């Protein structure tokens, strides 16, 4: 579905990814694991063309997208739920969601699944996004990404900084998006227990490259301790 082959990525003169090769199987969750600062977020940003430059091959459904600008990659079916959510606080909930539709082109509308997944958002469409709690803002960021009509969803630590009673809800929503909508999801996650429960495969990142990859049942405790323990 989505693959990177020998990809290097740069911020200015600083190289952040080194010879990154990884494949996200169609219709699965790929867990992207590793310590903080090893290049996991840069991997997602590189897929969308949000670093200063990159080299190597990025392919979506067998078609190379490496040279395409960000808006064309989004229109091809890649959506992003960034770390920190990045909603626009002065926009209403409705406008934040509809903003995601600009990437897809055509009429902008709230996706049919949003009322089922996020009833609170639908009951408060005219409230500013900035008054929402962290967990509610994360729901809003996911709803905005769904308005892009994606086939691939990039999610950067979606449970980070969220109150504990909401974390489980977000985790279940991620699993539903994959299993019920068939979305391919690249999930940057620190919670190994959740990654093992949700994902079909994994990539372990260290120093900007993939040091371990495989099916999720091959993710051993020794591997986690080696590459994720502080």
The number of domains in the chain is 1
CB 22 within 8 A of CB 186: no
pLDDT 10s digits, 106-161: 678 899 999 999 999 999 999 999 999 999 999 999 999 999 999 999 999 998 88
Number of Cβ within 10 Å of residue 63's Cβ equals 8
pLDDT 10s digits, 167-212: 999 999 999 999 999 999 999 999 999 999 999 999 999 999 999 9
| Residue 140 belongs to a domain | no
Domain containing 52: what range?
A: 2-87+150-228
| Residue 56 belongs to a domain | yes
Q: How many whole angstroms separate alpha carbon 29 and alpha carbon 114? A: 20
pLDDT 10s digits, 20-47: 999 999 999 999 999 999 999 999 999 9
| Residue 26 belongs to a domain | yes
Helix (H, G, I), strand (E, B) or coil at 199: coil
Tokens read off for 37: 């600062």
Q: Within 13 Å of residue 163, how many CA atoms lie on the same side as its CB?
A: 9
Burial class (CB in 10 A: 0-12, 13-18, 19+), 29: buried
| Residue 48 belongs to a domain | yes
Which pLDDT belongs to residue 56?
97
pLDDT at 85 over 90: no
Contacts of residue 60, defined as CB under 8 A and 6 or more positions apart, other chains included, come to: 1, 2, 73, 76, 77, 78, 152
| Residue 108 belongs to a domain | no
Q: Pick from 79, 75, 53, 77: which is nearest to 66 by CA?
A: 53
Q: pTM, whole model, 2 decimals?
A: 0.94
Tokens read off for 90: 């002065």
| Residue 137 belongs to a domain | no
| Residue 96 belongs to a domain | no
CATH number at residue 72: 3.40.50.300
| Residue 34 belongs to a domain | yes
């Amino acid at each position: 579905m989505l693959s990177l082959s020998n990809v290097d990525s740069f911020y200015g003169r600083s190289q952040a990814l080194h010879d990154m090769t990884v494949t996200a199987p169609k219709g699965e969750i790929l867990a992207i694991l590793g310590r903080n600062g090893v290049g996991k977020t840069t991997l997602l940003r590189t897929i969308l063309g949000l670093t200063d430059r990159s080299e190597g091959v990025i392919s979506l459904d067998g078609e190379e997208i490496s040279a395409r600008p960000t808006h064309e990659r989004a229109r091809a079916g890649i959506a992003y739920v960034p770390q920190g959510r990045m909603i626009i606080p002065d926009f209403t909930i409705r406008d934040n969601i509809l903003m995601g539709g600009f990437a897809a082109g055509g009429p902008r509308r709230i996706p049919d699944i949003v009322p089922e997944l996020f009833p609170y958002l639908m009951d408060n469409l005219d409230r500013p996004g900035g008054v929402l709690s962290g967990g509610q803002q994360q729901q809003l960021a996911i709803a905005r990404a769904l308005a892009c009509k994606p086939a691939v969803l990039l999610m950067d630590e979606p449970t980070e900084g969220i109150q504990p009673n909401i974390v489980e809800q977000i985790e279940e929503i991620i699993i539903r998006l994959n299993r019920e909508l068939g979305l391919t999801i690249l999930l940057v996650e620190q919670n190994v227990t959740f990654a093992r429960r949700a994902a079909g495969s994994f990539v372990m990142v260290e120093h900007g490259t993939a040091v371990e990859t495989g099916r999720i049942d091959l993710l051993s405790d020794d591997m986690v301790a080696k590459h994720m323990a502080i």
